[in-house]
């Protein structure tokens, strides 16, 4: 009987679990559960959702190994008893924008890029720690360890946590992470593959130590596990919320950040770039070369294999379709049909889609704008078209920024829930001006985590086939040019 492995995608919106054949990646069963809305969330909701999603997937009794991929950057602060100090600030919480600006001013962009591969913005964990230090000093003083969402969930799954909630208790030295997630903190160097203790102290105002180093007078950060290694193996049963049990002997892999998980699930290699359309949007690729973008547009994260993952993130992707669809009273499908009834370029109507501010470009306080309104363009069809084009043009700028770092784009893949919309596919081939490959629908973050679990279990990273279709390039450069004029 083939070994089964599980992959978890604990995203902003939900928890997805996929159970697969470790050899060929065939899906055996899946489950999911919702997360609450908001940019500040009690991590207990993630733990509850994990138990529900595992149960929905039929449990883990026959699963040999699991890995967790999680939303990046979220600040999970723990006290000495293993309890969460305050609600986790998620990646899309922009209250630390001023803190980020202060940190950039203190060291300069070049220094940040050299030491971390990125320039701090509100998304990154380090800026949230600075905000905590300044805005909630009493909470900051209680912090005994800082973890990320995937670190914390993996720790809980391995049986650690508050003494009254877990069999192994609050052993903070058991915290672990991987390089991809650590590289999004703004205090880990993906080139040296090491924490930068000075930058951590710059953020929180207190010294740090790596879990397991033996000292006790500093804030714990998780040890970084190699991509093909395991965080550990359960030595006793762990009961999750809802009564689901993870059995003794279950191996827990290193896990990863969500975008690195998607890259691993897609099997990306050098020359491949993916555009992911969730509530937020990302453009990311894989490269073996060093990365440096002092502008801060491209973050030079680590991927889930030991290579680099240049990435650009926007706060507004499918969110744009939700807002405009809600305004017009239609679902995504009907919004797409309206959009395709209008010409490319929407006769000059341009939507700048900064509905919740923006991360790239770094404009946390920005708002959305609609330009080029005339009697001829102010109708449902043109507005729908402008929504799709605005969303995709923002990501086309992200793709251009990734290319500007020296990354070669030989294959462009489009993923995420919104990629299933015919209008998205058609307009993407126009805005990007190149062939767009569409992998078969799937949960690629969870798939990447499952593939990583198989790697830890067998010692070999498996190759799992993915079917794709191609939408031929249909360049309409005037659409992107008009958008760029609007956002200058």
| Residue positions annotated with a catalytic role | 258
- The answer to whether 428 and 392 have CB atoms below 8 angstroms apart is yes
8-state DSSP, 233: E
* Alpha-carbon gap, residue 318 to 456, rounded angstroms: 34
* Alpha-carbon gap, residue 445 to 316, rounded angstroms: 19
* Alpha-carbon gap, residue 329 to 339, rounded angstroms: 14
* Alpha-carbon gap, residue 157 to 251, rounded angstroms: 10
- The answer to whether 152 and 68 have CB atoms below 8 angstroms apart is no
- Write the Ramachandran bin of 382: left for phi over 0, alpha for psi from -120 to 50, otherwise beta: alpha
- Three-class secondary structure of residue 293 per DSSP: coil
Whether omega for the bond prior to residue 50 falls within 30 degrees of 0, making it cis, is: no
* Alpha-carbon gap, residue 452 to 253, rounded angstroms: 7
* Alpha-carbon gap, residue 47 to 282, rounded angstroms: 26
Token reading at 151: 């670190």
Q: Residue 11's CB: how many other CB atoms inside 10 A?
A: 21
Q: Residue 66's CB: how many other CB atoms inside 10 A?
A: 30
Half-sphere exposure of 465 (CA within 13 A, CB side): 2
- Three-class secondary structure of residue 283 per DSSP: strand
Q: How many helices, marked H, and strands, marked E, lie in the chain?
A: 15, 28
The kind and range of the H/E element at 260 are helix 258-266
- Three-class secondary structure of residue 286 per DSSP: coil
- The answer to whether 451 and 461 have CB atoms below 8 angstroms apart is yes
Non-local CB neighbours of 198 within 8 Å, separated by 6+ positions: none
Residue with the two structure tokens 């807002």: 323
Token reading at 312: 């650009």
* Alpha-carbon gap, residue 225 to 95, rounded angstroms: 31
* Alpha-carbon gap, residue 271 to 42, rounded angstroms: 39
- Three-class secondary structure of residue 155 per DSSP: helix
Beta pairing partners, 7: 18, 67
């Amino acid at each position: 009987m083939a070994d089964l492995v599980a992959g978890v995608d604990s995203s902003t919106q939900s928890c997805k679990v996929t159970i697969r054949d470790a050899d060929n990646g065939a899906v055996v069963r899946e489950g999911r559960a919702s997360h609450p809305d908001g940019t500040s969330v009690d991590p207990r909701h993630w733990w509850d959702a994990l138990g529900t999603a595992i149960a929905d997937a039929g449990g883990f009794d026959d699963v040999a190994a699991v890995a967790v991929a999680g939303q990046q950057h979220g600040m999970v602060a723990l006290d000495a008893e293993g309890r969460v100090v305050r609600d986790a600030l998620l990646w899309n919480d922009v209250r630390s924008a001023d803190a980020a600006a202060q940190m950039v001013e203190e060291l300069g962009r070049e220094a940040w890029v050299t030491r971390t591969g990125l320039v701090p913005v509100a998304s990154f964990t380090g800026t949230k720690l600075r905000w905590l230090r300044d805005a909630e000093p009493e909470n900051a003083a209680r912090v005994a360890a800082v973890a990320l969402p995937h670190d914390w969930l993996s720790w809980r799954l391995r049986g650690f946590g508050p003494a009254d909630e877990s069999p192994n208790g609050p052993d903070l030295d058991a915290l672990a992470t991987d390089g991809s997630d650590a590289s999004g903190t703004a205090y880990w160097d993906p080139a040296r593959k090491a924490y930068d203790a000075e930058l951590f102290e710059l953020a929180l105002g207190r010294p740090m130590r790596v879990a397991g180093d033996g000292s006790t007078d500093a804030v714990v950060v998780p040890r970084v596990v190699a991509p093909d290694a395991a965080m550990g193996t359960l030595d006793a049963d762990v009961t999750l919320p809802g009564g689901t049990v993870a059995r003794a002997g279950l191996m827990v892999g290193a896990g990863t950040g969500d975008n690195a998980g998607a890259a691993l699930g897609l099997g990306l290699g050098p020359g491949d770039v993916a555009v992911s359309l969730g509530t937020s949007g990302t453009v990311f690729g894989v490269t073996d070369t060093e990365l440096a973008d002092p502008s801060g547009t491209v973050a030079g994260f680590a991927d889930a294999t030991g290579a680099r993952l240049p990435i650009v993130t926007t706060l507004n992707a499918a969110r744009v379709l939700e807002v405009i669809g809600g305004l017009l009273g239609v679902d995504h499908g009907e919004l797409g049909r309206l959009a395709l009834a209008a010409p490319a370029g929407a006769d000059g109507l341009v939507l700048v889609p900064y509905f919740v501010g923006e991360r790239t470009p770094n404009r946390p306080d920005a708002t959305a704008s609609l330009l080029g309104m005339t009697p001829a363009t102010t109708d449902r069809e043109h507005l729908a078209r402008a929504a799709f084009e605005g969303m995709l043009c923002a990501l086309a700028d992200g793709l251009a920024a990734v290319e500007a770092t020296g990354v070669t784009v030989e294959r462009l893949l489009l993923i995420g829930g919104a990629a299933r919309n015919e209008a998205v596919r058609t307009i993407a081939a126009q805005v990007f001006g190149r062939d767009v490959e569409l992998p078969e629908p799937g949960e690629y973050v969870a798939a990447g985590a499952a593939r990583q679990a198989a790697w830890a279990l067998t010692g070999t990273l498996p190759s799992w086939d993915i079917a794709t279709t191609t939408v031929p390039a249909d360049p309409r450069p005037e659409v992107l040019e008009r958008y760029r004029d609007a956002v200058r």
